[in-house]
Structure 1
Amino acid sequence: MRSKLSNLPVPEVPQGPWSLFLDIDGTLLEHAAHPDAVAVDEGLRALLVRLEAQLDGALAFITGRSIAAVDHLFQPLRLRAAGLYGLEHRLVRDGAVEAAVEPADIAALADEIAAELDNADVYIERKGPILAIHTRAAPHLLKRATDLVEQALNRLPAGYRVLAGNAGVELMPLEAAKGAAIRRFMQTAAFRGRRPVFLGDDTSDENGFEVVNELGGISVRIKPQGSTAAPFALAGVDAALAWLDGLAGRGTAATPAEMAK
């Protein structure tokens, strides 16, 4: 069931054992024209540290970024994460990463689309088997970029899909789904038996909302637009951080240095 975001209440405070899944861009950090044009301040790192300690490790990023990019952004923290919409996983903090590689046909397509669009304001992000075209700085090219990616489906092997976002379009394998990543984490020791809470802001998060709802959890859409499967909403990044800070205030704390050990 989908709801109009304007009518959604602020999320309830989770009761009993719970776990936390977090999208990054548009949820913890404001969007930027280029994914590298964002920065994490010490306050956000400290908030994540407090939450991770409070939840006994049951916190994970669920993101379209690669895990390597997440680690660079949040260094020195290396928290649990599903990157590339679940094509990459780190199931334990500071653990090994199950990585994904870029197929030759996707690499060739990335070069072809870059030549076709030929615009410095369009950023083509190559994320292993996922190709993302960011048009936030050139919104007039979003339709053209989407058309190019959709046309490419006819030439690629079966098993890919196109996902349109708020300011770009992505081509990805069918198995790349945030909901599947959340299910996998929920089967691990740190998350098992806990009520999942998931915060996200984009169409790519809807699959995760649906899974969390199915599991009896709390799904929250950030910066409302359109309709959503999430029954709760927060007005934007600042509201999301304030809500999380309120939850963290009920738990124990640790320092970023301690988390990095």
Structure 2
Amino acid sequence: MSALMTIPPALDPARHALFIDFDGTLVELVDDPQAVAIDRAALLRLAALQSELSGAFAVLSGRRIADLDRFLEPLRFAAAGVHGLERRGGPDDPIERLAGPERLDPLRRDLGRQLAGRADLRLEDKGLALVLHYRGHPELKAEAERLMAEAVHGDEGFAVMNGDHIVEVHLAGMDKGRALAAFLVADPFRGRVPVYLGDDTTDEFGFRAVKERGGIAIKVGTGLSEADYRLAGVDSVHRWLGAPGEPSAAGTGSE
């Protein structure tokens, strides 16, 4: 793994398929997950890129696709939500869910009891995943991880992921790498070189899948990563994508 800053090559819309994370990549991380916003100029650039890529553009996120739609409105796009447990193969396709939320009911009840009356730890229910937030209280990291581990109780049917001031649990068997691979077997992604941008530990699955297929893995921010390339932050992502008013990296034909 590398922590070096290596600027990624230019995006080639004729050959590449673009897969991109949302929080910490397209938008800045904030204490309230519902308070994020994307600049209109950046949103217009994403719409233009989607067209330039002949539709080979998808957002891969831990969020639900319905939330992504709300934040990126009016853009419509292929997406994998809840780390791939939700999937939309194309902008106008229905959302497919790999499982129902009821499998998480025992964890809901357990964590609900443990967190009753607490304001420093907050449980977000995504339906197909549960997220324990401790943003603003970094000293609670170990406690949050312990509470989640106790709720899961070693059940291998669940996957626990530690992210940026969160601990998340969802059904095992899916991650962003597998979600990305599923897109690549169908048009308009099939036959293209995958490019993936993400900032968190959950994006390492995507980086690994991209590198196995000869693609370009781009880590956003600091920290060790399997990605070969790096951008400093959200602003750098939008500059690299060529948001209006910024020099564009797209279209030079470089890989």
TM-score, structure 1 length as denominator?
A: 0.88
In structure 1, how many angstroms separate the alpha carbons of the residues matched to 2:121 and 2:250?
A: 38
In structure 1, how many angstroms separate the alpha carbons of the residues matched to 2:205 and 2:141?
A: 23
For the residue of structure 2 that corresponds to 1:36, the secondary structure is: helix
In structure 1, how many angstroms separate the alpha carbons of the residues matched to 2:122 and 2:190?
A: 39
Could you tell me whether the CA contact under 8 Å between 1:50 and 1:248 is conserved in 2? no
Could you tell me whether the CA contact under 8 Å between 1:64 and 1:83 is conserved in 2? yes
Q: State how 1:105-254 maps to structure 2 within 5 Å.
A: 106-117=104-115, 118-154=117-153, 156=155, 158-225=156-223, 227-245=224-242, 246-248=248-250
Q: Which residue of 1 aligns with 2:245?
A: none
Could you tell me whether the CA contact under 8 Å between 1:23 and 1:199 is conserved in 2? yes
In structure 1, how many angstroms separate the alpha carbons of the residues matched to 2:11 and 2:76?
A: 25
By how many angstroms is 1:32 displaced? 1.1
By how many angstroms is 1:45 displaced? 1.4
CA RMSD of aligned residues (A): 1.9
Given candidates 54, 60, 63, the residue that maps to 1:62 is 60
In structure 1, how many angstroms separate the alpha carbons of the residues matched to 2:48 and 2:11?
A: 16
Q: Which residue of 2 aligns with 1:79?
A: 77
Cα distance, 1:188–1:241 mapped onto 2, change above 3 Å: same
In structure 1, how many angstroms separate the alpha carbons of the residues matched to 2:188 and 2:235?
A: 28
Cα distance, 1:24–1:137 mapped onto 2, change above 3 Å: same
TM-score, structure 2 length as denominator?
A: 0.90
Could you tell me whether the CA contact under 8 Å between 1:54 and 1:248 is conserved in 2? no
Cα distance, 1:12–1:78 mapped onto 2, change above 3 Å: same
Could you tell me whether the CA contact under 8 Å between 1:102 and 1:127 is conserved in 2? no
Fraction of identical pairs, as percent: 38
In structure 1, how many angstroms separate the alpha carbons of the residues matched to 2:203 and 2:139?
A: 24
By how many angstroms is 1:37 displaced? 1.3
By how many angstroms is 1:109 displaced? 2.2
Q: Which residue of 2 aligns with 1:10?
A: 7
By how many angstroms is 1:27 displaced? 0.4
By how many angstroms is 1:75 displaced? 1.3
Cα distance, 1:147–1:84 mapped onto 2, change above 3 Å: same
By how many angstroms is 1:248 displaced? 4.9
In structure 1, how many angstroms separate the alpha carbons of the residues matched to 2:157 and 2:184?
A: 25
Could you tell me whether the CA contact under 8 Å between 1:122 and 1:137 is conserved in 2? no
For the residue of structure 1 that corresponds to 2:214, the secondary structure is: coil
In structure 2, how many angstroms separate the alpha carbons of the residues matched to 1:81 and 1:219?
A: 18
Cα distance, 1:84–1:54 mapped onto 2, change above 3 Å: same
Counterpart residue identity of residue 112, structure 1: D
Q: Which residue of 2 aligns with 1:258?
A: none
Structure 1 moving runs of 4+ over 4 Å: 248-251
Q: Deviations over 1:181-212 (max 9, x none)?
A: 11011111101111110000000000110010
Aligned residue pairs total 246
Q: Deviations over 1:211-238 (max 9, x none)?
A: 100000000000111x211011111111
Could you tell me whether the CA contact under 8 Å between 2:64 and 2:126 is conserved in 1? yes
Counterpart residue identity of residue 21, structure 1: F
By how many angstroms is 1:8 displaced? 3.3
Could you tell me whether the CA contact under 8 Å between 2:138 and 2:165 is conserved in 1? yes
For the residue of structure 1 that corresponds to 2:173, the secondary structure is: coil
Could you tell me whether the CA contact under 8 Å between 1:110 and 1:124 is conserved in 2? no
Counterpart residue identity of residue 139, structure 1: P
